[in-house]
Amino acid sequence: MDWSLFNRFQEVASHEIGPRLLPALAEVIVDYLQADGCCIVQERDESMAAPLLEYPTASGAILFDPEQLGSLTQEKPFFFQDHFTARRPLRPLLGKFGQIAGLRLDNYSLKGWIVIGWCTPRSLDGIPLEASLQLFADKVLVNYLSLQRIALEQQYRFLFATVPQAIVRINENDNTSWVNQAALDLLQLEPDNLYPSAAEVSQGMMRLRSEAINQQEVNRRAGELIQNPNAEISNWLWAFPDRALSVLSRPIRSPYFNGRIWLFNDVSELYRSNQQLADQQNELLSKNDQLQAANREIESLISVIAHDLKSPLATLSFVLNFITMSGELNEQQLENVQYGQKTVTKGMNLIESIVYYNRLISRDEDVQLMEVELNDLLAIVVDGFRGAAMQKNIELALNTTASSPILRTDPESLVRVLDNLISNALKFSDFGKKVQIDAYVHHESLIVSVQDQGPGISPEDRPKLFKRFQRLTAQPTNNENSSGLGLSIVKALTEKIGAQIAVESELGQGTTFQIVFPAHLFNLSPAPESAERQT
């Protein structure tokens, strides 16, 4: 190494900084080699190169293909031509030189060439040309990286100064840290000092943490960091009387840095909204508890009233029957007695429905599931309604599957569901219409449907359909009794036996109710043929 050149570089570096250093270093190498000029070319990509520095004056050279200089170096980093003629693309940059020497720069941060030129060829015997250029290249690279670091740091400083989050980076190797302006304010550190010691930052964070009102949660997560220094923590909430912070902390481990980065995000607005929602939810839960208690009292009262009404209605029924047996009655008297008996029967049926529904919803009793041949059960249920269908000249048809389904269900509950659906279909059908009961398998589900040709269900009635004590727009066609509980019982019982109730209806075109059983509740056994019974 030529120590005289090294010392001159050191002297320049001691009093020149920033952008002025590189031209000063170029001046030293040009003077040392008694050259006429120097240029540093940066290879920006595979197809473009441009001058990074020209000394002593810039030629205004345009961009050119890096291959023009690459052909000079070939496979060796150092090149020398004592009789040089620049090609056309290089003439603006090197056209004045008749002799050049150069060195390829191949660092990951800076790729390109250093070229030293003499206008007329001269003897360079005794001058360590390659070593001098290598020493100059080292200084160029250090300066370039230093300028890059300063530019990058300025960019980061500007970027992090504008974000609202407080950012802290602590290097445990040398007890240093870096913070942005938001972190200075949050941790109450010395103003304008973006590089406080790690101890100062830690004290500020401890002071802030001690003011949190959710100390138990804060200390628990802090304990995780103590037990595992490599732990990553996110969504760590530090709550204060006037604000809330979401804290993120992650380790940084590399050959150059060993520490941790912290990010404090103000989530006060979100925290307050969540608190308000929690308070509202608690209030709603309290009101719901009160409402449920009130509902239980109402259910209990309804049940007591229903039971208490049974006795006088039974007495009234006995009296009416006794009247018919005590002597002959004229036509008007007999009609009045019969009307009274019908009224008592309606009342008893209503009471029985109320008591049954209250028992159904108030007791969480498990249903007794057993295997039932669905076709046989449907035949028995439908046969029980043939008399009622005949009174209104309604065709009652049953169409079952060719393979008799073995259904795992509670037969008593299923019969009650079917009774309500078929009874409603007959009630709301005009004379001479048809009620169709079907059982079939569709998309791995077993479906039992009850279809009528009644008035259908209006859009206004749809929301009220399965609610109790609801009076719908459509009315029974022959003054039949309707308690307003039938479909409520249907829905509750259907859910208890593991099925679903569905309804399809078009106003003026009739209604179809479907009981849908999932695949795990049934299997099919072969049967010779489908069964269809009609009246």
| pLDDT tens-digit map of 487-500 | 888 888 888 888 99
Asked whether 193 and 184 are in contact (CB, 8 A), the reply is: yes
- Condensed to tens digits (0 to 9), the pLDDT of residues 200-249 reads 999 999 999 999 999 998 999 888 888 898 888 888 999 999 889 999 99
**Which range, of 227-231, 309-313, 399-403, 418-422, averages the lowest pLDDT?**
309-313
Predicted pLDDT at 282:
82
Neighbours of 491 (CB within 10 A): 17
pLDDT band at residue 365 under the 50/70/90 scheme = low
pLDDT above 70 (res 428): yes
Instruction: At 192, list the tokens.
Output: 């304008």
In sequence order, what are the residues at sequence separation of 6 or more whose Cβ sits closer than 8 angstroms to the Cβ of residue 100? Answer: 72, 79, 80, 81, 84, 94, 115, 116, 117, 118
Q: What is the mean pLDDT of the chain?
A: 83
Q: What pLDDT does 351 receive? A: 63
pLDDT class for 532, splitting at 50, 70, 90? very low
Structure letter (DSSP) for residue 433? -
User: What pLDDT, on a 0 to 100 scale, did the predictor assign at position 120?
Assistant: 93
What local confidence, expressed as pLDDT, does residue 364 receive? 60
Average pLDDT over residues 436-453: 91
Regarding beta strands 434-442 and 395-399, do their DSSP bridges make them parallel or antiparallel, or are they unpaired? parallel
Q: What's residue 530's pLDDT?
A: 42
Joined together, the tokens standing for residue 166 give 């407080």
Give the percent of the chain with pLDDT over 90: 30
- Which of 74-78, 118-122, 130-134, 326-330 bottoms out in mean pLDDT, i.e. has the lowest? 326-330
* Residues linked to residue 179 through DSSP beta bridges, in sequence order: 168
State yes or no: pLDDT of 35 exceeds 90: yes
Q: Above 50 in pLDDT, residue 146?
A: yes
DSSP output for 201-245: HHHHHHHHHHT-S-HHHHHHHHHHHHH-TT--EEEEEEE-SS-EE
Distance CA 112, CA 99 (A): 19
Cis, peptide link before residue 164, omega less than 30° from 0:
no
pLDDT, position 449: 94
Q: Are 128 and 101 in contact (CB under 8 A)?
A: no
Mean pLDDT (whole number) for 312-328 = 66
Q: Between 3-15 and 21-32, two packed helices, what is the crossing angle to 10 degrees? A: 160
Q: Shortest CA distance to 156 belongs to which of 133, 127, 179, 190? A: 179
Q: Is the pLDDT of residue 531 over 50?
A: no
Burial group, residue 271, by CB count within 10 angstroms (0-12, 13-18, 19+): middle
- pLDDT, one tens digit per residue, over 73-108 is 767 889 999 899 988 888 889 999 999 999 999 888
**Dihedral sign of CA atoms 198, 200, 206, 208 in order:** negative
Compute, in degrees rounded to 10, the torsion defined by CA atoms 423, 429, 430, 436: -100
